[in-house]
Amino acid sequence: MEQVKFTQMIDGDKEDYDFLTKHEIEYTKGTADRLLTALVDLDESLSGYQITRLGHSVQSATRAWRDGADIDWVVSALLHDIGDIYAPYNHDEYAATILKPFVREQCRWVVEKHGDFQLAYYGAHVGADPNKRDMYAGHKYYDDCETFCKRWDQTSFDPDYDSLPLEFFRPMVEQVFARPANDPSVMNAPDQALVNPDVAKTRAA
Ligand SMILES: [Fe+2]
Ligand SMILES: [Fe+2]
């Protein structure tokens, strides 16, 4: 069987859907690879900064890595702006949706809200509310999102920063996206600090 027999889904039988499920499982194995390719495509998006969006992404991930952050944080930092390509007006939600089945809730939430938190740094210059983050006051991940933006996101537009290459992060992206999707043990995993000084020492540049 090379393709299904049906032209309307309602006519599909078990053989068709078993075939498609097998296909889908094979296809999802390439998710990490496709995401890394999309990150390279980011290189061409949104010019005007002193670094490209890919440069910003690897710089954010490098800062996370050097802060001693764990793999969920590092991969989240790397992919936090991946929505810029197709969802410029809700890029944060787009990235969070990609990450959701594979990282813990703490990281998903922070990626989803980072756009609102980032406004503290530039909202006043563009007629947006710099205090938009106040709507999340008291949320258990408020401080994490503040740290994410302060240490990894708003800082990562420096053309002179010695970022690690994208390939350095490939095994981490592959590991995260090889996890079983929507696994409660992953999504509900215990929260982790963004900054871990002991680990950071072992990763010092
Ligand atoms: Fe962003
Ligand atoms: Fe960013």
Domain boundaries in the chain? Answer: 13-202
Q: Ligand 2 is a single-atom ion; what residues have CB below 5 A from it?
A: 81, 153
pLDDT of residue 197: 98
CA 38 to chain centre: 12
- The ligand placed nearest to the CA atom of residue 83 is 1
* CA–centroid distance, residue 120 to ligand 2 (Å): 13
Q: Structure pTM?
A: 0.95
Q: Residue 166 in 3-state DSSP?
A: helix
51: nearest Cα among 168, 151, 126, 160: 160
Report the half-sphere exposure of 11 (CA within 13 A, side-chain side): 5
Residue whose token pair is 């061409």:
44
CA separation for the pair 108, 170 (Å, rounded): 19
List, in order, residues 6 or more apart from 87 with CB less than 8 Å away: 93, 94
pLDDT of residue 41: 85
Give residue 196's region: left, alpha or beta (phi > 0; psi -120 to 50). beta
47 beta partners: 49
98 token code pair: 């990609």
CA 157 to chain centre: 17
* CA–centroid distance, residue 117 to ligand 1 (Å): 9
Second CATH level (architecture) for the domain 13-202: Orthogonal Bundle (1.10)
* CA–centroid distance, residue 25 to ligand 2 (Å): 31
pLDDT per residue rounded down to tens, the chain (205 residues): 899 999 999 999 999 999 999 999 888 989 999 999 999 988 876 678 899 999 999 999 999 999 999 999 999 999 999 998 889 899 999 999 999 999 999 999 999 999 999 999 999 999 999 999 999 999 999 999 999 999 999 999 999 999 999 999 999 999 999 999 999 999 999 999 999 999 999 998 6
